[in-house]
Amino acid sequence: MAAVTDVDNDGARKTQILILDDEPIVCKRLRPAFQKAGYEVEAFTDSTSAMARIEQKRFDIVITDLKMQGTDGMRLLSRTKEIWPDTNVVVITGFATSETAKESFRKGAFDFIAKPFKLSDILDTVRRLVAGNSKR
């Protein structure tokens, strides 16, 4: 399975981000924010399409909500780590409990952010991730 890459003018590969949240407002606001920061973004409001997309393409970062209709965000997290162990997953959720946080980390989440959150917080998290990745 060849990952589709997107290359900017200087020839460097841009960081690829997938966002899944069943509330459109979250996708609508995160997408342009990440685009402006120079990332390539695909955003989904239904988990089935997001699951299918994960099978096709490797993303550097996956940002997912946990509790949604249809697939649970936890499944997207597990499946992502299964096929793309290097992909970092950030969990965003409105039902933040220490249980769900623990489970997310056990399943390999990089960070766990409770909604509502500041736009700058998630941008920082992603920046930290990208900086970490480039050092590897």
Partner 1 sequence: MDVLAGLKELFCFWHPPKPPIPFVVLFKKFKSILERNNRILELMADMGDKLSGDYIFDRQYINDACERVSDLVFKLVSDLNILTESEDVELFIAFERIQHEIHEELAGRRAVPVIRPTILLDELNSDLSEEVGNKFANLGDIRNTLGLSTPDGFVITTKAFFDFMEFNGLGKDIDKALSCWDGKAQDHLEAVCKDIRKRILQATMPKNLLAQVNAMADILGSRHHTKSLRLAVRSSAWAEDNEHSFAGQYESILGVPRSGILDAYRQVLASVYTPEAWQYRLHRGYKEHEIAMAVGCQVMVDAQVSGAMYTYAPLPLEKEAMVISAAWGLGPAVVQGIAESDTFVLDRCPPHQLLSLEIGQKERRLAQGARSGTIWKEVEEPLHGAPCLSADQLQRLAHAALAIERYYKRPQDIEWTFDGQSHLYILQSRPLNIRPEHREARSHIDDATLRAQVAFSNKGTVVQGGVGSGKVFLACGDEDLKDFPYGAILVALHTSPRYARIMQKAHGIITDVGSATGHMATLAREYRVPTVVDTGIATKMLRQGDEITLDASENVVYLGTIRELSRFELTEQDVFEESYEYRLLRRLLKKISPLNLIDSHSDDFKPSRCRTYHDITRYSHEKAVEKLIDLSENYQRYHDKVPKRLEVDLPLGLMVIDIEDGTSASQDSRAVTMDQIRSVPLKALLKGLTESGMWTTDPVAVDIGSFMSSVTRTCSTSMAGYGRLSRNLAVASKEYMNLNLRLGYHFNLVDAYIGDVPNDNYVSFRFLGGVTDFIRRSRRAKFIAAVLEQLDFRVEVHGDLVVGRLKKNSTARMCSKIMILGGLIGYTRQLDVGMKSDDQMARSFADFMQRIQPIMDWPAGSDEQGARSV
List residues binding partner 1 (CB under 8 A): 8-9, 14, 21, 23, 25-26, 28-30, 32-33, 35-39, 92, 94, 115-120, 122-124
Pick between residue 9 and residue 98 the one whose CB is nearest to partner 1: 9
Q: How far is the CB of 27 from partner 1 (least distance, A)?
A: 9
Residue of 46, 85, 37, 88 lying closest to 65 (CA atoms): 46
Pick between residue 55 and residue 124 the one whose CB is nearest to partner 1: 124
Q: How far is the CB of 95 from partner 1 (least distance, A)?
A: 8
Pick between residue 83 and residue 119 the one whose CB is nearest to partner 1: 119
C-beta of residue 13 within 8 angstroms of C-beta of residue 7:
yes
Q: How far is the CB of 74 from partner 1 (least distance, A)?
A: 17
Residue with tokens 């769900």: 100
Order of all β-strands in the sheet with 111-114: 40-44, 16-20, 61-65, 88-93, 111-114
Length of the chain: 136
